[in-house]
Amino acid sequence: MRSKIAIYPGSFDPPTYGHMNIVERGLGIFQKIIIAVARNTSKKSLFTPEERVELLRKLFKGRRDVEVDYFEGLLVGYALKKKSNVILRGLRTVADYEYELQMSFANKNLSPNIETIFMMTESRYSHISSTIIKEIAFFGGSVKNMVHPLVEKTIKAKLKERAK
């Protein structure tokens, strides 16, 4: 089965310009990208999965070639449910590669028809991570060159709400 649809999974807490760049560039290869927001219990989240889905839908509003969804459980099961055999993953660093390589082997073991495509983040986004953005924002620093203005506004509102 050749896929015209790629699943781009992640926590996206918050979505960054790097994430958006991977989607835009991925659309040069695939007809459709499904951004699949994962419930990750091992990470301390700023936003709920539902809030992240809503934020991403606003960022890609009007785009028929981008779908935003969330999933729980095994990624390969989700990909098969969505009739895709391709998982798209963005890489920033060697540490990302090592982790993603292990995940791709596990996914391949679970479903031999699943292929993982790694896309290097453009260098101007390689220093950006959701974790760093949350820390900068928490301590009052500016994240305006790392996230879309809508995301920046939403982060500030969320942190203000939590401070009450």
Q: Which domains does the chain show, CATH number per domain?
A: 5-126 (3.40.50.620)
Query: Within 13 Å of residue 10, how many CA atoms lie on the same side as its CB?
Result: 27
Choice among 19, 52, 134, 148 that is catalytic: 19
What per-residue confidence (pLDDT) applies to 127?
A: 87
58, 92, 108, 158: which is the annotated catalytic residue? 92
Mean of the pLDDT values across residues 64-74? 95
Instruction: Please state the rounded mean pLDDT for residues 139-152.
Output: 94
43 is catalytic: yes
- Could you confirm whether 19 is annotated as catalytic? yes
Residues 33, 8: contact at Cβ < 8 Å? yes
Q: What percent of the chain has pLDDT over 90?
A: 80
Residue pair 64/83 in contact (Cβ under 8 Å)? The answer is no
Residues 43, 81, 124, 144: which is the catalytic one?
Answer: 43
What is the residue-averaged pLDDT of the chain?
A: 92
DSSP letter string, 34-103: EEEEE--TTS--SS-HHHHHHHHHHHTTT-TTEEEEEE-S-HHHHHHHTT--EEEEEE-SHHHHHHHHHH
CB atoms within 10 A of CB 87: 26
Looking at residue 123, the DSSP 8-state letter turns out to be: G
pLDDT of residue 40: 67
In this structure, are residues 136 and 25 in contact, taking their beta carbons and an 8 Å threshold?
A: no
Residue keyed to tokens 């089965």: 1
For this structure, is 126 an active site residue? no
Instruction: Select which of 32, 130, 134, 148 is catalytic.
Output: 130
Please indicate whether residue 2 is annotated as part of the active site: no
pTM, entire model: 0.92
Average pLDDT over residues 99-121: 95
